Structure 1
Amino acid sequence: MISLPLVVEFLLLFLLNMAIGAFGFIPSFFVTTLNINSFGLAVGTFLSLSGEIFGAILGFYLYRLGFSKMNPAWRSHRFWQALQNQSVVRVFWSVIGLRLIPFVPSGLVTAGASLTAISAWGFAAASTIGKIPAVFLEIAVAYGYTQSLSAEYQYGILAAVLIICLIIWLMRKRKSARGKI
């Protein structure tokens, strides 16, 4: 029998995976590691893959909604015009190709696709096809990471990465505040 705390942990991790997939700018590696540590390789893989897929779909809708609320004048730039004039078939294959490249920010792909005529179903299919190999590669690396380092070291590395990101963010915020004066 599955315990309630385990179900709650699974649902919280699924929501976290979805949020990271929707934003698409936050690396999912550490959450993938957490998924594997918490639920093992098979369920952790399912959790990472489903969170990434549903998160990308959610992100697609959120970007479309957000772009529809913005002043449309920015779309007149030739870069955005060229993006919007792509055929649905070309966008479909571009999404697959860009999803296969590990270091292309997922949020850029999702945002770009949301500006085109591709349907949500077409985007979901292309995104899923492209994400499967990328997520399996991430799973392989995360699994090796979980097997070679103790949990204490993993949490230490995660804490160090979060602290470094926070410091960088604070420095940039301070620099931009100085620029406005």
Structure 2
Amino acid sequence: MGAVGFFPSFLLTSLNISSLGLTIGVILSLSGEIFGAIVGFYLYRYGFSKVNPKWLKRPFWRYIQSSSISRVFWAIILLRLIPFVPSGLVTAGAALTPIPGGLFIIASTIGKIPAVSLEVAVVYGLVESIHPGYQYGLFILIFLSFLVIWAKNKRKNSL
């Protein structure tokens, strides 16, 4: 999810829990979140290295790039703890900082554990209270909606 950046992770968490059970579903969801953040971090870092650096000279971006590694480390943890901050935004922002990949992984993991735990608690409550047929139908409907929106945007951008 971290590499894609726009697909709501609670959908996959609910699918994991309802298909694989609570324990394996939680392990898979947390592992996927962490792996996605790692892949996203390196993809963003690579992508930003290929972009025209003119926009990076603005004061805000200079401040981010000049931040200490310690400050970035704690900022990643804190931003990961806030449930409604998009994960892709945190990952992209971290990719612009001087933080090494290993420290990013540690900070992201520390921050994601409580966030994923909260997500699992909410999703598990829903999974237990809603019939599985409705869950799968809702998942398919949302997935197809994202697919249609993506296809329309791709076709519009290719014209």
Instruction: Settle same-fold status: TM greater than 0.5.
Output: yes
Q: Which residue of 1 aligns with 2:133?
A: 152
Q: Which residue of 2 aligns with 1:94?
A: 75
Deviation at 1:36, TM superposition (A): 0.8
Answer with 1 or 2: which has the greater Rg.
1
SS for the counterpart of 2:3 is helix
SS for the counterpart of 1:23 is coil
**TM superposition outliers: structure 1 runs of 4+ over 6 Å:** 170-177
| 1:32/1:122 CA distance change after superposition, 3 Å | same
| AA in 1 matched with 2:83 | P
On the 8 A contact 2:26/2:120 being kept in 1, the answer is: yes
Aligned residue pairs, count: 159
On the 8 A contact 1:24/1:56 being kept in 2, the answer is: no
On the 8 A contact 2:34/2:112 being kept in 1, the answer is: yes
For structure 1, list consecutive stretches of 5 or more residues without a partner in the other structure.
1-19
SS for the counterpart of 1:128 is helix
What TM-score results when the alignment is normalised by the length of structure 2? 0.89
| AA in 2 matched with 1:92 | F
CA distance in 2, matches of 1:165, 1:60: 23
Q: RMSD across aligned C-alpha pairs, in angstroms?
A: 2.1
Q: Which among 50, 58, 79 is matched to residue 69 of structure 1?
A: 50
Deviation at 1:156, TM superposition (A): 2.3
Residue 105, structure 1, aligned to residue 86, structure 2? yes
Q: Which residue of 2 aligns with 1:51?
A: 32
| 1:38/1:159 CA distance change after superposition, 3 Å | closer
Residue 130, structure 1, aligned to residue 111, structure 2? yes
SS for the counterpart of 1:21 is coil
SS for the counterpart of 2:28 is helix
Q: Which among 14, 19, 23 is matched to residue 4 of structure 2?
A: 23
On the 8 A contact 2:2/2:91 being kept in 1, the answer is: no
SS for the counterpart of 1:67 is helix
For structure 2, list consecutive stretches of 5 or more residues without a partner in the other structure.
none
On the 8 A contact 1:30/1:158 being kept in 2, the answer is: yes
Q: Which residue of 2 aligns with 1:6?
A: none
